[in-house]
Amino acid sequence: MRRVFPFLRLLFVPALGVTGGLVGWVAEESAIATALLLIEPILWVFAAWLAYAAWSRKDVGLTVGVVCGGLAAAMCVRIPTAPPETPGLDPAPFLARTSDCARELELPAQSVRLVQWTVSNDAPGIVPVITDAQADLVVVRGPLSPEVAAAVEAGVGGESMALTGANGPIHVFTRGVFSRCGEGDQWMDQPAQGADIGLLFVTVSPGTSFPLLVAGFPEVASVPQWATASRDARSALHTAAERLQSSILVVAVDAALPLGGPRLTRMLKVVGLAPAARPLNWPPRWPFSLHAFDQVWAAEAWVSAPAERLRAPGTGRDGVRVDLAPRWPVALPVPADDDAVR
């Protein structure tokens, strides 16, 4: 029995792997799975301690089982094993009026630096950080005083727009201008459970205009509420991105889901979006953060550089900065200049 027992400990590998796969498959649909995803980094610390204790006792079977089983669980929880669900919500009313504008925009000519930040209070500390980042586009969720909003706008050097969402205001600043589509220049919808879906058409520089979807998942009081709330929010976001059908679409989303939401990831990839920025930004100002709550997704016309975290005092999360470059850059026409011809 002593010779057999060490091999039985290797069952940690398939057992933990299957558990990780089941958690990833259920994901935000279950309160238990959501809680396990939320504390995954803590479970890793426990697994490392257990492996170290087993190795100290020269228990090779348990050490190999815990290490390989933990790796198998971490891999399986991230594999898109579950098919994307069919969105059950009606599309936002504004999509029928704006989808043509989104499809008619030209491919971008220049790169775009985007900063996204979620703040829990006025957070004046973000102003110098955003100014130093030299961003072309800034999305800030949360309450900003008129003074802080004006300072951010001055730092970016362009126009600003404030969207009123169910979870509070969403401030968008651009180095360029906001374009119109028909009679409007901003659209907002709260489809269900307090989710926010907003649309803007942004021109950050000559020849570089694109539709920007800003989305925010509802704030919930407890983990069990995540299932219904996240299902409605990701369905609304999926439907909006699918109806716009734009190859230059950029999505800035506050998912507030552990691991960024495995089911949300699958649904956005199905409609041709790829993650441009999902750095770990919560909790803020820790030596290491645990989850990527604020994310940037982009359609096929964009390629992204590695994202960076931005830190400032008084914020609920770290900020996110990412550079988006055109995959197929379009040359700008050279303006006629009589003096240059001489």
Q: How far apart, in Å, are the Cα atoms of 96 and each of 91, 182, 223?
A: 9, 12, 34
User: What residues does 277 pair with on adjacent strands?
Assistant: 296
Q: Look at the alpha carbons of 97, 299, 26, 255 in this order and tell me if their dihedral is positive or negative.
A: negative
**Residues 6 or more apart in contact with residue 310 via CB below 8 angstroms:** 115, 117, 126, 129, 130, 133, 318, 319, 320, 321
What architecture is domain 95-326? 4-Layer Sandwich (3.60)
Q: What's the pLDDT score for residue 160?
A: 94
Which pLDDT tens digits describe the chain residue by residue (342 residues)? 345 455 666 676 777 777 777 776 666 677 777 777 777 777 878 888 888 888 998 888 888 888 888 888 877 776 655 555 655 566 677 888 888 888 888 888 899 999 999 888 888 999 999 999 999 999 999 889 999 999 999 999 999 999 987 778 899 999 999 998 877 888 887 665 557 888 999 999 888 899 999 988 877 656 667 677 777 788 888 888 888 889 999 999 988 777 667 778 888 888 899 988 777 777 776 666 677 888 999 999 999 998 998 988 878 788 999 999 999 877 655 555 544 433
List the alpha helices (DSSP H) in 93-134.
95-104, 126-133
Six-digit token string for 296: 């940037």
DSSP 143-198: ---HHHHHHHHHHHTSEEEEEEETTEEEEEEESSEEEPBTTBS-EEE--STT-EEE
DSSP 291: B
126 with 319: CB under 8 angstroms? yes
Q: What's the pLDDT score for residue 223?
A: 63
pTM of the model: 0.82
